[in-house]
Copies of this chain bind each other. A is one copy, B any other.
Amino acid sequence: MAIGKTLWAIPEGYIPAQSTNGEDSRFVSHEAACLLNANDGDAHITITIYFADREPAGPYRVTVPARRTLHLRFNDMSEPETIPRDTPYSSVIESSLPIVVQHTRLDSRQAALALLSTMAYAAG
């Protein structure tokens, strides 16, 4: 089933440097792009990261298999370079097949965690 678009943008991006209970990976402060590929073929995805004061980083590459979801943590992206903490960024996500993208942050810098989420912007 073809659902979604092939070009997405997330203007908000910020990985907090601190965590409470960070020894448990579930509670590490993190930011994720949730990528749904409802197609019957694999989606090949390219991500570019934009910053306030330097040229963009990337391309980062990931594949979401057919009929699968990937909750990709920006924290874990390391090639071609890691994303700095406590630094504002934006992301643009391009896919070889239509996908749907949702943005989520878990912030556990203080004793009780906070969450935000929004559908990404479907650009085309």
B34 touches A9 (CB 8 A): no
Question: In the docked arrangement, what's the CA distance between A123 and B115, Å?
Answer: 25
A92 touches B1 (CB 8 A): yes
Judged by a CB distance under 8 angstroms, whether A74 is at the interface is no
A104 touches B12 (CB 8 A): yes
> Quick one: which of A1-48 are within 8 Å of B by CB?
1, 3-4, 7, 9-14, 20-21, 26-27, 32, 34-36, 38
B123 touches A90 (CB 8 A): no
How many subunits of this chain does the assembly comprise?
4
A121 vs chain B, min Cβ distance (A)? 5
A43 vs chain B, min Cβ distance (A)? 12
Judged by a CB distance under 8 angstroms, whether A97 is at the interface is no
B113 touches A107 (CB 8 A): yes
List B contacts of A88 (CB < 8 A): 34, 69-71
Question: In the docked arrangement, what's the CA distance between A55 and B68, Å?
Answer: 7
Judged by a CB distance under 8 angstroms, whether A56 is at the interface is yes
B50 touches A56 (CB 8 A): no
Question: Which of A20, A69, A70, A105 has the largest count of B CB atoms less than 10 A from its CB?
Answer: A69
